[in-house]
A and B are shown apart, each in its own frame.
Chain A
Amino acid sequence: MKKLLSYFGPYKVQSVLGPLFKLLEATFELLVPVIVSLIVDRGLGQRAADFTYPDADRGYIVRMSLVLVAFGLVGLVCAVTAQYFAAKAAAGVSAGVRSALFAKLQSLSYSDLDGLGTAAMLTRMTGDVNQLQSGINMALRLFLRSPFIVFGAMIMAFTIDVPSAGIFAGVILLLSVAVFVIMFVCMPLYKKSQARLDKVTLSARENLAGARVLRAFCKEEDERRLFSERNGAYTASQKFVGKISALMNPLTYAILNAAVILLLYVGAIRVDSGSISQGNVLALYNLMSQILVELIKLANLIVTVSRAAACGSRIENVLAMQPSLELFPEGKEGDRVETTEKDDAFIRFDGVSMRYRGGGGNALTDIDFSVKKGETVGVIGGTGSGKTTLVNLLPHFYDVTEGSVKVEGKDVRAYDPAALRARIGIVPQKAVLFKGTIRENLRWGKADATDEELMEAARIAQADKVIEGKGGLDAAVEQGGRNFSGGQRQRLTIARALVRRPDILILDDSASALDYATDAALRRALRSLDYDPAVFVVSQRTSAMHGADKIVVLDEGRAVGIGTHEQLLENCAVYREIYDSQYKTEDGEAAS
């Protein structure tokens, strides 16, 4: 919790004053029964034999009633002040946590992100922080008030009459045991019942998402049976936990009233002996009824706070993560790796092996090749052969396990990641656009790009027609680019990468949704770029390798062939198989 506590820093004053004002309010609340007893004892005075009160002090009664109203008013002001401080601290602290969390997530490496998973990250950012906020709010409001009222009532009772107050101590103990035992028995049961509800949800979801398959296999009857089973199990667990949690009210009610009987009995003896007055008994009784409400509030508070604490520790785990990317200490300028021999290669993969964190085998093994400026490199292989992994090493998204990747003779780990990535244009497999306008999206490539620069990049990416068709650079892009087709998105993401006129361009299976003609035009345009980037083209298809100066053939993470198309057809069995599978037909004739 230490790390999270630091976010309370700017809200120290509120975090202290909130509970204090709550305490004040509670104090005034506790004084109410005392005042009422004063009204009865002093205001009414002695009861005469004829059941009248000859010494009644009406002025006193009115004054004390006004005091009651005044107490209520002061209590109101205190409560409002306390609520404000609590809300302020809760909103402020959680805003700080959210901001820190977002910044932390952005700073993590690809490996870290893989480990966390998108769903978990989103839950941390939204649900967990919201729970934390309401936990803080509740805690600041109640964690002093409820125990204070419960124990305050007991202390008040002690000031009135010690032997009667002993009953309070006993009752508080008994009630606490009852409330907490029931709650702690129920909590895991609720969890279990929630898990069963999840199964019910699963059934419903599956029968919508998988409607075609399930009906094709005539599974409706089975599915209904399964649902009925799950639904029944859920209801049974609901009823079971319901029976136990339903004990709470009757049990506490019984305990409290048993205590009332005892209180009256002890009170009767004490009054009879002249130790206390009738008004005192009345006060004790009123104090007793305040306990129960607060005790139940306290129990609920404990649940909320423990839930919030669980969320808090999950958040803390993320905040405590250190970005795992390996950076050479000299950082931006320094270059620990001695560039002894003058390397004419622009990019060099030097004995590179790479294993994903938590993954069993190597994703890449012993990759060696170099690329000159202006060259086009094709990377080909089946699904899971390591193509994307290979190109992800260039911008230093992942660390190599062995060997090194060098750009201009310098290890990528010696670059500042942002500076390195600024020189690389990437078109990821999944063509994602962001909510905003086309212009905003393209400017991701270069924040200060002019419209001319943007349109120039769009022309090369064959996206100029798309932009025109949508009504220009100001056309709105919906979240995820929903209002664009797959092919349109792909062209725009290519344009986005080209806007920065990158030294290295990476096309990761980026033309899959383009028709053949557009694809060909794109490739022509890329070849004629005036700033000579090194281009990496990743694909499963040999047709995409056309015009590559060098093709790297990957099979299960190994480079099983490096060379030109013709060379590989000649001497690389895997490449030939891929080629044949795409071009050859049964009668042995190549269709192209």
Chain B
Amino acid sequence: MKGKKNTARASLPKGTVRKVLRYVGKYPLSLAATLLLAAVTVGFTLYVPILVGDGIDCIVDAGKVDFSSLWGIFVKIGVSMAITAVAQWLMSVCNNRIAFEVVQRLREDAFGKLTRLPLSYIDSHAHGDTVSRIVADAEQFSDGLLMGFTQFFSGVLTIAGTLAFMFVTSWQIALVVVFVTPLSLFVAKYISSHTYSFFKKQSETRGEQTAFTEEMIANLKTVQAFSHEAENAEKFDEINRRLEKSSLDATFYSSLTNPSTRFVNNLVYALVALIGALYIASGASFSVGDLTIFLSYANQYTKPFNEISGVVTELQNALACAARIFELLGEREESSDAGAEELGEAEGNVSLDGVYFSYTPGQKLIENFSLDVHPGQKVAIVGPTGCGKTTLINLLMRFYDVTGGAVRVDGRDVREVTRKSLRSNYGMVLQETWLKSGTVKENIRMGRPDASDEEVIAAARASHADGFIRRLPQGYDTPLGEEGGSLSQGQRQLLCIARIMLCLPPMLILDEATSSIDTRTELKIGDAFAHLTEGRTSFVVAHRLSTVRTADVILAMDAGRIVEQGTHEQLLAARGFYYRLYNSQFE
């Protein structure tokens, strides 16, 4: 993560700041209010120590206390304090509004983008990375924005204000403060640049240990089956010892920053006390009250310095994170559906006309492939794993667009109709059974949110899912965790089938739809499938060749290409690829 951020920072794309400002600029009033309130807060915060100093000057000695002036000072302190407190709170509220709402918009835009990105992007980019752009990066960005407004701006103002006051009161002491304070910055920089390597070492060792732990804990059963516990413990302890050492180094050396800067601050404090006292003694126009103010400023002045150096890193981080989100927002979207027509309810004629397709330009995959499927026909696609059966599905569903030729439904090029109207004509069951988090019922209803409970149950019955659903703790209302939670692969597949049974679209795509269901249950839902595919154009990908024999057309695929095409009998007679494939299953 750290490394990623560093590289991101190194190559912060131009325009990131401009884009950020465009989002922030939507809050001109809050923005102006924030700046104004910050100035008010800082001004009065600095004013109060002056008042206190004046107050102390009124309390000189026994019998020499100027009470009448004191009362005036008290009122001033009280009012300043009240104004500061209110201004500070309002400033935070404004800041929160800007930071949180900017990020809300940004996140919403990013998510909208997500739903419009082509499948090729989703397939080729790590999901974790994209999620972290929308969630973690956005979060970091909002933190940075917030810090930037509250701390950076008021920090700068505080430094400026303090300096101005100190120079006005006593430029000599002010000079001392100005020259000595940056020492603490240097010390902090020096320490942090040296602890970086310790931290790196720690996170590397920690990563190594986590990887080892993950591997072994996730497979503890195998570990125990092979009685490998002792060897593991030894390896773990070896890493653990190194982690202990590097963790001690990192923690200790990084913890030096605070005492060291505190020491420098103490130095400044002592110097101010010394020079200030000598000044007073020498009879210069410098009072004990002034010394009080100086001492409290010496403290206040060093604080924003330490903070600002932290804030700058934070802001850089935030910008790097923003850049990652903008990068996502800048991705090419799917071609627009605007101007496309509605397909309406399809008859089920699907034709591929001289189709060319490949995932990566230059790497040929599907070339000049034609196929004409009549309404109600069953097309089976067979071939070894990884032969590219799903590629065809990608083209049919228009998850990907062909690079040449055309896919037509009822004679209309799929690129000329809206994706929505095309896809709602297909019912799809994939081998990767994906369920949404929600209840069982909600999942079955996905294709038809308005279906009644009776219809849902009927669909579940037809797909033989009703039995196990009823045995779940809350039946149809049982919540399923992310991606189906505790259901077995087979049960999830049954739910996916029920989902299709409910909406019954005119065309079907079944990609290994029953691969995780045991053969007996499969046989039982076979009838339901037969009923389902009857009169519907269907594309069936199957591992088990027994289920494809009845297909009207069989496409045998290998290494991403369609090598044979025909009926079961034709292909067997051809004694080619399909023939070998078919016979290999019987030894």
Report B401-428 CB contacts with A as 1/0, cut-off 8 Å. Answer: 0000000000000000001100110101
With both beta carbons as reference points, the residue of chain A lying nearest to B263 in the complex is identified as A76
Query: Which parts of B125-159 form the interface with A (CB within 8 Å)?
Result: 127, 130-131, 134-135, 139
Q: A304: CB under 8 A from chain B?
A: no
Cα(A293)–Cα(B271), bound, Å = 23
Cα(A534)–Cα(B86), bound, Å = 82
Q: A243: CB under 8 A from chain B?
A: yes
Q: A582: CB under 8 A from chain B?
A: yes
How many B residues have CB within 8 A of the partner chain? 146
**CB-CB < 8 A to A274: which residues of B?**
61-63
Asked whether, in the complex, the Cβ of B127 is within 8 Å of the Cβ of A208, the reply is: yes
Asked whether, in the complex, the Cβ of B59 is within 8 Å of the Cβ of A246, the reply is: no
Binds A, one of B218-226, B354-362, B451-459: B218-226
Q: B522: CB under 8 A from chain A?
A: yes
Binds B, one of A254-262, A362-370, A559-567: A254-262
Binds B, one of A153-161, A214-222, A345-353: A214-222
Asked whether, in the complex, the Cβ of A591 is within 8 Å of the Cβ of B56, the reply is: no
Query: Which residue of A62, A73, A126, A267 contacts B274 across the interface (Cβ within 8 Å)?
Result: A62
Asked whether, in the complex, the Cβ of B586 is within 8 Å of the Cβ of A232, the reply is: no
Q: A95-B243, A219-B446, A428-B222 are in contact. Are A212 and B430 (CB under 8 A)?
A: yes
Size bin of chain A's contact surface: 35 or more
Cα(A432)–Cα(B215), bound, Å = 10
Most buried by B among A73, A201, A211, A580: A211
Q: A61-B278, A212-B119 are in contact. Are A235 and B100 (CB under 8 A)?
A: yes
Asked whether, in the complex, the Cβ of B434 is within 8 Å of the Cβ of A209, the reply is: yes
Asked whether, in the complex, the Cβ of A91 is within 8 Å of the Cβ of B218, the reply is: no
Report A216-234 CB contacts with B as 1/0, cut-off 8 Å. Answer: 1111100110011001101
Cα(A73)–Cα(B262), bound, Å = 10
Binds A, one of B8-16, B287-295, B345-353, B368-376: B287-295
Cα(A88)–Cα(B224), bound, Å = 34
Query: Which residue of A51, A201, A210 contacts B131 across the interface (Cβ within 8 Å)?
Result: A201
Asked whether, in the complex, the Cβ of A133 is within 8 Å of the Cβ of B61, the reply is: no
**CB-CB < 8 A to A520: which residues of B?**
587
Asked whether, in the complex, the Cβ of A516 is within 8 Å of the Cβ of B114, the reply is: no
**CB-CB < 8 A to A586: which residues of B?**
550
**CB-CB < 8 A to A395: which residues of B?**
225
Q: B186: CB under 8 A from chain A?
A: no
Q: B319: CB under 8 A from chain A?
A: no
Q: How many A-B residue pairs have CB under 8 A?
A: 411
With both beta carbons as reference points, the residue of chain B lying nearest to A61 in the complex is identified as B277
**CB-CB < 8 A to B164: which residues of A?**
none
Q: A306: CB under 8 A from chain B?
A: no
Asked whether, in the complex, the Cβ of B266 is within 8 Å of the Cβ of A69, the reply is: yes
Binds A, one of B23-31, B309-317, B512-520, B559-567: B512-520
CB distance from B307 to the nearest CB of A (A): 13
Asked whether, in the complex, the Cβ of B96 is within 8 Å of the Cβ of A242, the reply is: yes
Cα(A447)–Cα(B226), bound, Å = 10
Cα(A246)–Cα(B91), bound, Å = 9
Query: Which parts of A72-95 form the interface with B (CB within 8 Å)?
Result: 72-73, 75-76, 79-80, 83-84, 86-88, 90-92, 94-95
Per CB-CB distance, the 4 closest pairs between chain A and chain B, nearest first, are A274-B62, A246-B92, A72-B266, A56-B281
Tell me the B residues contacting A by CB distance below 8 Å: 45, 48, 52, 55-56, 58-65, 67, 70, 73-74, 77-78, 81-82, 84-86, 88-89, 92-93, 96-97, 100-101, 103-104, 107-108, 111-112, 114-116, 119, 122, 127, 130-131, 134-135, 139, 206, 209-229, 231-233, 236-237, 240-241, 243-245, 247-248, 251-252, 255-256, 258-260, 262-263, 266-267, 269-271, 273-274, 277-278, 280-281, 283, 287-288, 291-292, 295-296, 299, 397, 399, 419-420, 423-424, 426, 428, 430, 434, 436-437, 446-447, 482-483, 488-490, 516-523, 544, 546, 549-550, 584-587
Instruction: Please name 18 pairs of A and B residues whose Cβ atoms are closer than 8 Å in the assembled complex, sorted by A.
Output: A69-B267, A69-B270, A75-B262, A76-B262, A87-B248, A110-B224, A203-B111, A208-B131, A210-B436, A216-B423, A243-B96, A249-B88, A268-B59, A277-B61, A278-B61, A281-B59, A383-B488, A479-B215
Beyond known contacts A99-B240, A421-B225: 19 more, CB 8 A cutoff: A44-B277, A44-B288, A69-B270, A95-B240, A95-B247, A108-B220, A121-B217, A130-B206, A204-B135, A206-B437, A213-B430, A247-B89, A250-B89, A268-B59, A268-B65, A285-B52, A418-B227, A432-B222, A515-B584
